[in-house]
Amino acid sequence: MEELRRRILADGRALDDRVLLVDSFLNHQVDPELMRAVGEEFARRFDGEGITRVVTIESSGISPALMTALALKVPMVILKKSASRVLQDGILQTDVYSFTKNARYKLTLKCEFVHPDDRILIVDDFLANGEAAFGALRLLEPAGAKVVGVGAVIAKMFQPGASRLREAGYRVEVLAPIRRMSAGKIEFE
């Protein structure tokens, strides 16, 4: 997605070979027009897949996922990050490890928001090791839903998330796939 790549090169900042700062337009300050374009691009790529719900992970995934859900005319469901186990009926939880934050959290879904006949698109801002996406799969599939694919706004293709998901049989669409980075330098695939 050319517009997004241009924006990453103009306003993003690679701090080293792992950390890409895009907080001026994607996850702290957010450009709503860019998010709308991102949502429309995911909707175009997954057109014809019969998506019934867009699922994302709290909280940086919400903006691109909401715009994708708007374009697809389906609800969005937010998987919450809880610090501790929620003791409540109808709640599914799974442990996820975040490499970025070096911390564990419990990804949480209220079951009533996913149905056995759902065809789900997972949308998130970043895909790196795939921990969050596999956590989402561990919640959605036992609920009986079919996960049709994963859409990542940015993916660090030199980390294993995208290929792990593809090897497991999922369609992965990345709007800005980064081949490699170093301080001040970003190279797309």
Does 66 contact its own copies by CB under 8 A? yes
Nearest-approach distance from CB 175 to its own copies, in angstroms: 18
Pick 109 or 128: Cβ nearer its own copies: 109
Q: Determine the Cα–Cα distance for residues 143 and 131; give it in Å rounded to an integer.
A: 19
In this structure, how many other beta carbons lie within 10 angstroms of the beta carbon of residue 83?
A: 9
Pick 66 or 128: Cβ nearer its own copies: 66
Residues 6 or more apart from 2 whose CB is under 8 A from it?
none
Does 185 contact its own copies by CB under 8 A? no
Nearest-approach distance from CB 135 to its own copies, in angstroms: 17
Which residue among 13, 30, 45, 164 contacts its own copies (CB under 8 A)? Answer: 30
Amino acid code (one letter) for 134? F
Does 76 contact its own copies by CB under 8 A? yes
Q: Determine the Cα–Cα distance for residues 151 and 170; give it in Å rounded to an integer.
A: 10
User: What would the x/- binding string for its own copies be over residues 109 to 148, using CB under 8 A?
Assistant: -x-xx-----------------------------------
Q: Determine the Cα–Cα distance for residues 144 and 113; give it in Å rounded to an integer.
A: 12
| Residues facing residue 119 across a β-bridge | 146
